[in-house]
Chain A
């Protein structure tokens, strides 16, 4: 695609439910990143993929958070048993190689009620 695509763009879920957020990176981009942006805050690193492997998962806030990437392309971020503090905009970015320009999607706004 022309850019990084994220879906859904908005998600409202009840506390305790599981959610899946999807990221379609730019075709051919090997590196993929997930970040979280809380209201009025900076970007908090969650996880980084190189191909299908995740060399750095250090930003995942708890074991309720997991992510996978298949075929070196689409990635899914899963949050189990959502809590209100999980409410944020989840941003995905991809880059051709590591340490080259990272292109961001528009994000998924998650609201846990």
Chain B
């Protein structure tokens, strides 16, 4: 019940295209859903996050869509750029309880120039 399932494992997108990464969770008590971006040799960096009281959050070219009933959330990267090439991790955590972040397995994105 603590798992977060992420897909696809890898993704290749043309420059200017839309990158879509999906995550699904099981524990309905999760109430914070961040996305992290990781470049090789670096630690993950927070990209955007959402709480379940909203269905969508947009920051620049990055949008999280959240479907509470389906227990799914996704990251959309509009106008994808070669500089977006990185590994993306979704995560979920609880406001109460142990507070740890449960991470998805990651999606390696490559944006072709």
**A: which residues have CB within 8 A of B?**
4, 31, 33, 35, 41-43, 45, 48, 50, 55-56, 58-59, 91, 93, 98-99, 101-107
Contact = CB atoms under 8 A, between A and B. Distances in A.
Nearest to A95: B99
B101 A91 contact: no
Contacts, number: 61
A98 B91 CA distance: 15
Contact of B105 (A42, A93, A106): A42
Interface residues of B, number: 26
Interface string B78-113: 000000000001010111001111111110000000
Given A99-B94, A107-B43, A43 B100 contact: no
A50 B97 CA distance: 12
A43 B99 CA distance: 15
Contact of A33 (B32, B100, B105): B100
A102 B98 contact: no
A45 B41 contact: no
Given A45-B100, A55-B98, A59-B100, A102 B105 contact: no
Contacts of A4: 43
Interface stretch (B12-20, B44-52, B58-66, B68-76): B44-52
A58 B49 CA distance: 25
B98 A91 contact: no
Contacts of A56: 98-100
Given A41-B105, A42-B105, A105 B43 contact: yes
Given A41-B105, A42-B106, A43-B89, A99 B99 contact: yes
